[in-house]
């Protein structure tokens, strides 16, 4: 990746009043802090449901309940700008309900189906049971650790997944998330970038235009401890 034009790195959290149930806004704080630790100026913006999406290099979609998920999707359909911003080189990081929103369609409790944003070819239906617990995903040889809590079963179709599930369920028990066309998503919800600082650095590297040098912070050390603990903990049925 080549160096992009230097300036303020803008990060936007989309509709946190609807999609912030699990502290997902923490992902924005992590990105800003890790950018600043490397000397980059970064700005974090929260976008309310009645506001247009601002210009940004990274957009964040969090998780939420069925009703807020539908409202957020309707508002983004009305805004109609996120696809254009991705085409211009922006990134969209989506977790849990946000992952379902970026697909073609998703189903909520009761089985009613709703159109997603259609940014990636994912389709989510209601699964037979709710998936709750730790998740471990192999992302090109790197471990993503986190916690999932969802009833969705997501068919990836032709979408490129984020990684292979080693523990937990993810999209369908085999793969988790998506990594395609500027959209990065995972069922590991909440402030997953705090738990996986390497993934935060990868997003920043794409936005800035080059790989970032490694840094040693308490978050990086906690990640290593957590990764080892999950890999070696006994599996539950």
Domain count, the chain: 1
Residue with tokens 């290099």: 57
User: Measured between alpha carbons, how far is residue 106 from residues 28, 153, 170, 191, 234 in Å?
Assistant: 25, 9, 15, 23, 33
Q: Is residue 87 part of a domain?
A: yes
pTM of the model as a whole: 0.94
CATH label of the domain that carries residue 169: 3.40.50.880
Q: Is residue 237 part of a domain?
A: no
Q: Is residue 2 part of a domain?
A: no
Residue 1 has pLDDT above 50, yes or no: no
| 153-212 pLDDT tens trace | 999 888 999 999 999 999 999 999 999 999 999 999 889 999 999 999 999 999 999 989
Give burial (CB, 10 Å; 0-12/13-18/19+) of 174: exposed
User: Measured between alpha carbons, how far is residue 153 from residues 37, 84, 115, 169 in Å?
Assistant: 38, 28, 16, 9
Q: Is residue 3 part of a domain?
A: no
Q: Is residue 71 part of a domain?
A: yes
Q: Quote the radius of gyration of the chain (alpha carbons, Å).
A: 17
| 114-165 pLDDT tens trace | 999 999 999 999 988 999 999 999 999 999 999 999 999 999 888 999 999 9
Q: Is residue 142 part of a domain?
A: yes
At residue 231, what are phi and psi to the nearest 5 degrees? -65, -30
Q: Is residue 103 part of a domain?
A: yes
Give the structural domain span for 188.
9-232
Q: Is residue 1 part of a domain?
A: no
């Amino acid at each position: 990746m080549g160096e992009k034009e230097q300036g303020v790195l803008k990060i936007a959290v989309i509709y946190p009043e609807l999609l912030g149930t699990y502290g997902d806004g923490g992902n924005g704080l992590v990105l800003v802090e890790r950018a600043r630790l490397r000397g980059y100026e970064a700005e974090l913006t929260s976008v309310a449901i009645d506001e247009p999406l601002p210009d940004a290099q990274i957009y964040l979609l969090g998780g939420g309940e069925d009703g807020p998920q539908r409202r957020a999707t309707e508002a983004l359909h009305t805004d109609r700008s996120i696809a254009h911003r991705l085409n211009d080189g922006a990134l969209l990081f989506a977790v849990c309900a946000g992952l379902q929103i970026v697909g073609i369609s998703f189903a909520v409790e009761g089985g009613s189906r709703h159109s997603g944003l259609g940014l990636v070819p994912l389709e989510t239906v209601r699964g037979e049971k709710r998936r709750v617990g730790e998740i471990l995903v192999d992302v090109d040889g790197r471990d993503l650790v986190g916690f999932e809590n969802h009833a969705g079963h997501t068919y990836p179709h032709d979408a490129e997944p984020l990684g292979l599930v080693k523990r937990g369920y993810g999209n369908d028990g085999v793969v988790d998330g998506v990594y395609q066309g500027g959209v990065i998503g995972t069922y590991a919800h909440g402030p997953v970038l705090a738990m996986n600082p390497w993934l935060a650095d990868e997003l920043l590297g794409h936005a800035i235009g080059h790989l970032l040098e490694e840094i040693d912070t308490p978050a990086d050390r906690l990640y290593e401890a957590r990764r080892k603990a999950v890999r070696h903990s006994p599996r539950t049925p």
